[in-house]
């Protein structure tokens, strides 16, 4: 059953987010990422929300293990990541 990962973070510059997804989006797909969307907060484009749907929690963990440090360096977060993993409970 799929999981949804939400990651919210403030960044120095959104260009780093663009570079990170350009480089690692295809790799995440190979590891079981079904879809990803990245939002910028209205009136504060340095606040970024990532929505990642993976086949399961394990596939998300495997994808991050390969490139996590470089990914974080590219995104250039300011402060901490507010992240959560959500289990699909009801589907219509």
In tens, the pLDDT along 33-82 reads: 999 999 999 999 999 999 999 999 999 999 888 888 999 999 999 989 99
**Confidence at residue 1, expressed as pLDDT on a 0 to 100 scale:** 85
Residue 8 contacts by C-beta under 8 Å, 6 or more apart in sequence? Answer: 47, 48, 49, 50, 81, 82, 83
Q: Which two tokens stand for residue 67?
A: 């490139």
Give percent of the chain above pLDDT 70: 100
**Confidence at residue 82, expressed as pLDDT on a 0 to 100 scale:** 96
List the Cα angle 26/86/68 in 5-degree steps. Answer: 40
**Confidence at residue 66, expressed as pLDDT on a 0 to 100 scale:** 81
In tens, the pLDDT along 58-68 reads: 999 998 888 88
pTM: 0.89
Domains of the chain by start residue, with CATH? 3-87 (3.30.70.100)
């Amino acid at each position: 059953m799929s999981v949804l990962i939400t990651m919210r973070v403030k960044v120095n510059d959104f260009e780093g987010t663009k570079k990170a997804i350009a480089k690692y989006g295809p790799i995440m797909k190979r590891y079981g990422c079904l879809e990803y969307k990245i939002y910028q907060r209205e009136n504060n484009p340095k606040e970024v929300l990532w929505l990642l749907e993976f086949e399961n929690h394990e596939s998300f963990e495997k994808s991050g293990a390969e490139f996590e440090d470089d990914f974080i360096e590219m995104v250039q977060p300011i402060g901490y990541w507010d992240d959560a993993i959500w289990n699909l409970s009801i589907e219509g």
